[in-house]
Amino acid sequence: MQKSLPILNYWSKIWNRHPAFNALLIYMVYTIISGTNRLGSQSEKVAMEYQRILFEKSIDAKVFSLRNVDVLHRTPDFLKIENEILIPTQKFIFIIPEYNGTFPGVLKAMIDNSDIIKVWQNKKALLTGISSGRAGNLRGMDHLSASLHYMKMNVHHNKLPISSINKLIDPDGRLDSETLKEIDEQLNGFINF
Ligand SMILES: Cc1cc2nc3c(=O)[nH]c(=O)nc-3n(C[C@H](O)[C@H](O)[C@H](O)COP(=O)(O)O)c2cc1C
């Protein structure tokens, strides 16, 4: 096993606690992808909750919804999204609903339609699964992780399954306190990732 020098460990611990390091983390470009094109989707509401929580942490993240996006062709609109949102992003948060036991095909189509190297390679990803059933899209998160790893992305270990979403979100799109606490912890881990 490879050992790192003790002096490097020491300086890395000091640097990780330094205010300048925290400032750098905040200035990373974050995008939250709502991984479906379904009108009225719960995933989009959860994506907005992630945006709100990040904003409270001084991080101004964009929400990119697949609604009304032609994901099958490299149209001028798609290229604009790619150039202005996807390529500049360093950290992606995927909110993925469970459709027939996995993540939606429209998300895979969007990924397949993009410039894989410029958009995804060597970037970081956080995954959250949404379902009305019991699984919280655990399988879909594993499927997406495998694909993202193939594209040389770094996927954060804390994948959050949110099951029975209809019972956890109110008509204003606000999640219950227990789920918010889990998201808060998950995001703190991802910000330091
Ligand atoms: C095409 C389709 C397939 C679905 N398949 C599943 C499923 O396999 N398991 C499950 O728990 N819920 C399933 N659902 C329900 C979704 O999990 C539910 O709609 C949830 O709110 C997340 O999706 P949304 O963001 O589209 O709202 C499915 C919904 C759709 C539209």
pLDDT tens per residue, range 50-95:
999 999 999 999 999 999 999 999 999 999 999 999 999 999 999 9
Q: Indicate which atom in ligand 1 lies nearest the CA of residue 133.
A: 11
State the pLDDT confidence band at 181, using cuts at 50, 70 and 90: very high
CATH class entry, domain 31-191: alpha beta
How many A from CA of 61 to the centre of ligand 1? 25
Cβ of residue 189 lying under 6 Å from some atom of ligand 1: no
Pull the structure tokens for residue 182.
């889990």
Q: What are the start-end ranges of the E strands in the chain?
A: 30-34, 62-65, 91-97, 124-130, 154-155, 160-162
* Four-point Cα dihedral 46, 33, 124, 18, nearest 10: -50
pLDDT score of 183 more than 50 = yes
Instruction: Give the residue carrying structure tokens 């808060």.
Output: 184
Best of 63, 98, 169 for a ligand 1 pocket test (most atoms within 8 Å of beta carbon) = 98
Domain ranges in the chain are 31-191
Identify the band that residue 10 occupies on the pLDDT scale cut at 50, 70 and 90: confident
pLDDT value at residue 2: 47
Query: Which tens digit of pLDDT belongs to each residue from 120-155?
Result: 999 999 999 999 999 999 999 999 999 999 999 999
Asked whether 29 and 90 are in contact (CB, 8 A), the reply is yes
Ligand 1 atom 23 nearest Cα? 97
pLDDT at 27: 80
Residue 119 has pLDDT above 60, yes or no: yes
Rounded CA separation 176/21 (Å): 32
Q: DSSP letters of 38-76?
A: -TT-HHHHHHHHHHHHHHHTT--PEEEE-TT---SS--H
pLDDT at 1: 42
